[in-house]
Amino acid sequence: MTGLASPEWGGFDPARTRGGGWREMRHSFVTAIRLGWKMEANWTDPFLFLIYSVAKPLASALILVVMLDVISGGAKPEYRAFVIVGSALWSFVLSGVSGLAWMILDDRERYRMLKYIYVSPSDFLAVVFGRGVARIGVGAMGAAITLAVGVTFLNVPFDVGRIDWPLLATGMILGVTSILAIGLIMAAICMQTRQDSWSYPEAAAGALFLVSGVVFPLSVLPAAVQGVGLLSPLTWWIEGVRLALFPGGLSAVGGPGSLFGQLTGTAAPTSSEIVLVLLGTGAVATLAAVAVFRTSDRRAKDRGLFDQTTGS
Amino acid sequence: MTARADGRRTLDRPGRTAFVYRPTASPQEAAAWTRRQVAMTNLRTVVGRAYPRIIGLRRDKSWVFFEVLLPFLATSAFVFVYRALQAPPQYIGFVVLGGAMTAFWLNVIWMMAQQLWWEKSQGNLELYFAAPMHIMAVLFGMAFGGFVMSSTRAAAVLVIATTVYNVSFSVDQWVLLIGVFLLTLGALYGLGMMLASLFLMWGREAWHLTQLLVEPVYFVSGLNFPIARLGVLGSVAISILPLAVGLDAMRQLAFAGAAYPIGTPSPAIEALILGAMVVVFLVLARWTLLVLERLARSEGRLSVRWQ
């Protein structure tokens, strides 16, 4: 037998339909990351790409810094660090959530390749995740530069020697996994909606922004909304990274009048509590994402949505 | 065969059908349209291009959740930032006003500026240029449809947020406020029409430019805070960005007498700036479209997708 020809005995070889397992999936994933990165970055020179990548998170942080300065006149430096870290980390969320959803919209509506990707031997989920990871890479650049600008130009107090590296590494791994899970849910939703859904991932991220303690402590929210925030893995991810980078800083989860304080009787969560809750909420989000994606996938196949294009 | 099926509009006018406006002796004579014919075709183009945007509101209801509820929550986040800082109540109002106006800005950059490039990617643009209509009519149709779409979202965010966060407006000059609002929309959509041609020429960079025009423009427009706080940067924004000047004028008019750093021109002067922007952007839109059409025809790039 050679190449794609039939077996010598002339029949159908079912082994060919089984694929190459993990090795092949890893290959699809890595290829999708490379493809995603090239699609993001190869249209211009690296400097211009850097400007585009950091302008968005940096401007978001500056909006909040000016809001803070208008009211407090620079009297709350600890709050400035709180806002900068939250804004910087949020660029991961924006890029992760929109990355997966836009992969569906891009390939279905713009390049019209989604149906071909779907029927290719590559695992569809691996391709979707790979493209999302490439966009998270862009978000990471934005986050790093926003933090650097905050420390260098906005007087955010930062000491590399005080960083809690194990908490930072664990928090980032679990957090990025949770972001990808939420992105997968958005991808599943965009599979069902029309072309105008480009702004939906950002709208969803905007809503999560409210309940995740990104730029203000959850204690200013009504108790029920705080409860929703405590169920979000993003809240615990940001809390963990903030604690790792600025030990002893302002807590978004705890503090006076917080639901967390009322439930646990403690002022703020410890590192181990943060990791445990992040692990639990992240696992629930991941399982929910896979279930939602599989359901959406079946419905899209059933209704022919993979090759649907819409206009407005 | 019925009259409609064989293309006849009226049976009492021999030779005149839905496809033949008047019987002519030659193709050249048929191509020489009357003014009325041109005007009616362009009007139909405006209606036809606005139609999918308006009818889409009824056909796909997901926008109610994604374009009303979720943006309201995003606006709420900034309200709570001010609450955490114990800011005076007028600042909550600034956030609500800014949250409502973002609906128009997002519509302008996503569904105006990027649209022609998008149409090119989908293969529609060459049909637009080949059709016997003015491409400005297509842009006006896009703008009108987009305006209707965005108005629903902006009104919903404004009403819900005003009620939930107990925002109280203090308006002394209603006529000027309404005038400024309409001029802001005119300037925004004029800018969108101009950007539509530029984005088409810039190709793939357009996608990234769209991203660049969200948060950075929110920042320099003083979306959630008085723009005077930005100093020179704010002054520059007021002179070139309709969102910045419109928001500042509306803020001054909707919160008359409220204490906050102003330091910007009066609403009447800002209305004049907006009026000038409307004219300039529409003229530039027309000019860039001509340049684009010439380039597209001479270089044959209309049918080259995904560049």
Are the C-beta atoms of residues B170 and B253 closer than 8 Å to each other? no
B274 vs A: CB within 8 A: no
Q: Please determine, for residue A195, whether its predicted confidence score (pLDDT) is greater than 70.
A: no
Q: What is the Cα–Cα distance from B2 to B59, expressed in whole angstroms?
A: 31
Calculate the CA B122 to chain-centre distance: 21
What is the per-residue pLDDT for B5?
Answer: 45
Longest alpha-carbon distance in chain A: 83
pLDDT tens digits for range B58-100: 877 777 777 788 788 888 999 999 998 889 988 999 999 999 9
DSSP, res B5:
T
Tell me the shortest Cα–Cα distance from B193 to chain A, in angstroms.
Answer: 16
Over residues A207-229, mean pLDDT: 92
Tell me the shortest Cα–Cα distance from A253 to chain B, in angstroms.
Answer: 14
**A311/B122 CB distance under 8 A:** yes
For residue B50, give the amino acid letter: A
Strand spans (E) along B17-62? none
What is the per-residue pLDDT for A166?
Answer: 95
Q: What is the Cα–Cα distance from A88 to A78, expressed in whole angstroms?
A: 16
Residues in chain B within 8 Å Cβ distance of A59: 215-216, 218-219
Exposed / middle / buried, residue B307 (Cβ in 10 Å: 0-12, 13-18, 19+): exposed
Beta-carbon contacts of B210 under 8 Å, excluding residues fewer than 6 positions away, are B109, B110, B113, B114, B199
Q: Please determine, for residue B299, whether its predicted confidence score (pLDDT) is greater than 80.
A: no
Beta-carbon contacts of A49 under 8 Å, excluding residues fewer than 6 positions away, are A40, A41
Q: Please determine, for residue B203, whether its predicted confidence score (pLDDT) is greater than 90.
A: no
What is the per-residue pLDDT for B63?
Answer: 75
What is the per-residue pLDDT for A256?
Answer: 86
Question: With a CB-CB cutoff of 8 Å, which residues 202-221 of chain B face chain A?
Answer: 203-205, 208, 211-212, 214-216, 218-219
Strand spans (E) along A198-278? none
Cβ atoms within 10 A of the Cβ of B219, count? 24
Mean pLDDT, rounded, of chain B: 85
Residue of A nearest to B228 (CA): A70
**B208/A203 CB distance under 8 A:** no
Q: Please determine, for residue B7, whether its predicted confidence score (pLDDT) is greater than 50.
A: no
pLDDT tens digits for range A86-141: 999 998 998 888 889 988 988 888 788 899 999 888 889 999 999 988 888 888 98
pLDDT tens digits for range B234-256: 889 998 999 999 999 999 999 98
Q: Please determine, for residue B283, whether its predicted confidence score (pLDDT) is greater than 70.
A: yes
DSSP, res B170:
B
Q: Please determine, for residue B180, whether its predicted confidence score (pLDDT) is greater than 50.
A: yes
Over residues B127-156, mean pLDDT: 89
Are the C-beta atoms of residues A238 and A212 closer than 8 Å to each other? yes
Instruction: Spell out the domain ranges in chain B.
Output: 51-298
Exposed / middle / buried, residue B109 (Cβ in 10 Å: 0-12, 13-18, 19+): buried
Residues in chain B within 8 Å Cβ distance of A73: none
C-alpha angle B64-A310-B139 in degrees, rounded to nearest 5 = 85
pLDDT tier at B305 (50, 70, 90 boundaries)? Answer: low
Q: Which of A72-76, A166-170, B40-44 has the lowest mean pLDDT?
A: A72-76
Q: What percent of chain B has pLDDT over 90?
A: 38
Mean pLDDT, rounded, of chain A: 88
Q: How far apart are the first and last CA of chain A?
A: 51
Tell me the shortest Cα–Cα distance from B174 to chain A, in angstroms.
Answer: 28
Tell me the shortest Cα–Cα distance from A208 to chain B, in angstroms.
Answer: 8
The torsion angles phi and psi of B290, rounded to 5 degrees, stand at -65, -45
Q: Please determine, for residue B307, whether its predicted confidence score (pLDDT) is greater than 70.
A: no
Q: How far is CA A188 from CA A101, A298, A300, B81, B152, in A?
A: 8, 10, 9, 31, 26
pLDDT tens digits for range A26-36: 999 999 999 98
**A216/B84 CB distance under 8 A:** yes
Beta-carbon contacts of B32 under 8 Å, excluding residues fewer than 6 positions away, are none
B175 vs A: CB within 8 A: no
Are the C-beta atoms of residues A178 and A103 closer than 8 Å to each other? no
What is the per-residue pLDDT for B3?
Answer: 43
pLDDT tier at B12 (50, 70, 90 boundaries)? Answer: low
pTM for the model stands at 0.82
**B211/A71 CB distance under 8 A:** no
Beta-carbon contacts of A294 under 8 Å, excluding residues fewer than 6 positions away, are none
Question: With a CB-CB cutoff of 8 Å, which residues 49-68 of chain B face chain A?
Answer: 52-53, 56, 60, 62-63, 66-67
Closest listed residue to residue A158, CA positions, set A215, A81, A90, A75: A81
What is the per-residue pLDDT for A24?
Answer: 85
